[in-house]
């Protein structure tokens, strides 16, 4: 029974950030918020959400002594990616209004919350943002994005072997996915499933003839080949800046934006790789409003979705410059337990909560309703 079970307000207001789930915690890195200063270089911020206590914590800035040590910490950026390998989060790419795009690999040790820059070798990808990153075993795959130096979209695949810290350009056979940025790439088994993104009708260079891909492209990491795929009858609208995740061998996408339609989405679709078919999914409960550039992480059987940006209510559907940035968080539960369903019933049927334990009453306030949340969202503890 797929259900939106929790809705929290008052978290970090972030757009185009990157996040990784580590156990029951979600680490969120950087991004931006309208009205903040992104011309002054400063350390990237790190927010941590505890999916058990339902609280946010902001990690203190790293103390740096000297110019060399300062380079170990990434500067504030957006359009970057973050992945987890063992106890290390690898952050790559993204851009800043002052420095432009970046291709330095940064590593964040989850055990001691320390940054370092691993020494890498091989063919390092060009600086970019809007790319995708996913992990299979000890290997990180980078696909697409908008390359700063070439000033065009990419459709190359690069991989980083985290055991040797060697980059390589993948010599992929077959018909590649179109040049694009702000797509998603998701590993299921040994295959990478690419969906959506912004591309140009005439090739890799941006000529303001945008198209939004809505067909799945599959890359087989075993054979290093882009696969020929069958056509599907039912397809979601093409979009960029959506979320994608895998659950039980199937691919899910949520939200995103299509500039040609001038439309933000809050729909949820499921793709079955075996039948190569799409199905629209309608979870129970009240979910997020239409948005793009949010983050989405899986913790157990729950999806933690937070942040992003949407059209301002007074602007109707709005455009690129009339957007509101979100500080909210939603939880989509694939297997809500009896305790969770009982809480929902208490709220739904306005049952007496006074006899319930204190901690349960707090949790009830965070369920998907229109009620305000009175407890503090940020905490000084993990």
pLDDT digits (tens, 9 = 90+) for 285-310: 999 999 999 999 999 999 999 999 99
| Confidence band of 71 (pLDDT split at 50, 70, 90) | confident
Pairing of strands 250-258, 243-247: antiparallel
Averaged confidence pLDDT in the chain? 89
Residues 6+ apart with CB under 8 A from 28: 12, 14, 17, 18, 19, 46, 47, 48, 49, 295, 306, 307
Q: Do 307 and 297 contact (CB within 8 A), yes or no?
A: no
Cβ atoms within 10 Å, residue 331? 24
Let me know how long the chain is: 382
Res 381: pLDDT:
33
Confidence of residue 64 (pLDDT cuts 50, 70, 90): confident
Taking the model in full, what pTM does it have? 0.89
């Amino acid at each position: 029974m797929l259900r939106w079970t929790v809705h929290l307000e008052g978290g970090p207001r972030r757009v185009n950030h990157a996040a990784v789930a580590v156990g029951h915690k979600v680490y969120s890195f950087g991004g931006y918020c309208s009205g903040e200063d992104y011309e002054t270089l400063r350390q990237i911020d790190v927010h941590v959400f505890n999916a058990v206590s339902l609280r946010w914590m902001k990690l203190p800035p790293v103390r740096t002594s000297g110019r060399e040590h300062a380079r170990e910490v990434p500067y504030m950026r957006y359009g970057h990616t973050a992945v987890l390998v063992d106890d290390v989060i690898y952050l790559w790419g993204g851009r800043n209004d002052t420095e432009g795009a970046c291709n330095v690999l940064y590593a964040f040790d989850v055990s001691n919350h320390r940054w370092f820059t691993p020494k890498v070798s091989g063919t390092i990808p060009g600086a970019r943002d809007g790319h995708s990153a996913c992990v299979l075993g000890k290997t990180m795959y980078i696909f697409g994005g908008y390359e700063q130096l070439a000033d065009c979209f990419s459709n190359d695949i690069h991989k980083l072997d985290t055991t040797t810290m060697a980059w390589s350009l993948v010599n992929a056979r077959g018909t590649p996915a179109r040049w694009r940025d702000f797509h998603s790439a998701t590993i299921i088994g040994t295959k990478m499933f690419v969906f959506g993104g912004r591309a140009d009708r005439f090739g890799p260079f941006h000529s303001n003839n945008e198209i939004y891909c809505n067909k799945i492209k599959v890359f087989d990491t075993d054979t290093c080949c882009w696969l020929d795929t069958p056509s599907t009858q039912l397809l979601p609208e093409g979009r960029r800046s959506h979320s994608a995740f895998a659950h039980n061998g199937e691919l899910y996408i949520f939200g995103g934006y299509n500039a040609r339609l001038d439309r933000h989405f809050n729909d949820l679709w499921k793709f079955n790789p075996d039948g190569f078919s799409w199905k629209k999914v309608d979870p129970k409960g009240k979910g997020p409003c239409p948005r793009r550039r949010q983050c989405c992480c899986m913790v157990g059987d729950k999806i933690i979705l937070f942040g992003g940006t949407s059209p301002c209510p007074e602007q109707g559907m709005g455009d690129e410059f009339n957007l509101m940035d979100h500080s909210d968080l939603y939880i989509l539960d694939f297997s809500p337990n009896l305790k969770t369903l009982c809480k929902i019933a208490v709220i739904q049927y306005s049952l007496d909560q006074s006899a319930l334990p204190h901690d349960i009453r707090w949790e009830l306030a965070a369920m998907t309703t229109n009620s305000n949340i009175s407890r503090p969202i940020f905490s000084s503890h993990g």
